[in-house]
Structure 1
């Protein structure tokens, strides 16, 4: 009888954990889909990858991509980079990535004003 009770408790814990985490995953998927539908369609894949590599790596910004970034808009840029920076493997350096995100945005805005 004690075995049955411990199995029921274990099953209850598993079900509770699944119920707790499934909504989080579905919200995250919805957020990713929304970002894709509203933001990433405004920028070329080449420029999106370039900007991501500049923010999260040691890439050099292709200045012609600044036009697309500014067209995409600050809200999209901020949300996309924050969404990526929130990944568990990157969150330890999130502040650094958000600063680089802002630096890229400011640089691109300054270029677009002079063009």
Structure 2
């Protein structure tokens, strides 16, 4: 339960700091999917098909800006930028492949 509180605080922090506000990113992804994406990137977790769709719809620019701004926040200075960027790219590519797969469009 503590990890959910950490991610809830993270989302509140991101929203209040205007991180998601760039390029109207805040209108493109639901809060539960933000939590899933952050768990997938910043911790150990998976992202559902539904949230993968929302992440791809969010767009690469918003996705990258979110990750970059989070890494710039002093609260997350303990994170390894190289590891987080690699996980971010992996999550993005996995979601993109999932959304582009023929079985998803049927």
TM-score by length of 1: 0.66
Cα RMSD of the aligned pairs, angstroms, is 1.9
Structural mapping, 1:65-84, within 5 Å: 65-84=51-70
Greater than 4 Å deviation, 4+ residue runs: none
Match of 2:26 in 1: 40
Gaps of 5+ in 2: 1-16
Per-residue Cα deviation, 1:76-111 (whole angstroms, up to 9, x for no partner) = 000001111112242341111111111000000000
Quick check: which one's helix share is greater?
1
Match of 1:27 in 2: none
Gaps of 5+ in 1: 1-31
How far 1:33 sits from its partner (Å)? 2.5
CA contact (8 A) 2:19 2:66 kept: no
Match of 1:95 in 2: 82
Once the two structures are overlaid, the 10-residue window that deviates more, 89-98 or 61-70, is: 89-98
Question: Secondary structure at 1:35's aligned position in 2?
Answer: coil
Q: Check 1:58–1:35 CA distance in 2 against 1; reply closer, same or farther (3 A cut).
A: same
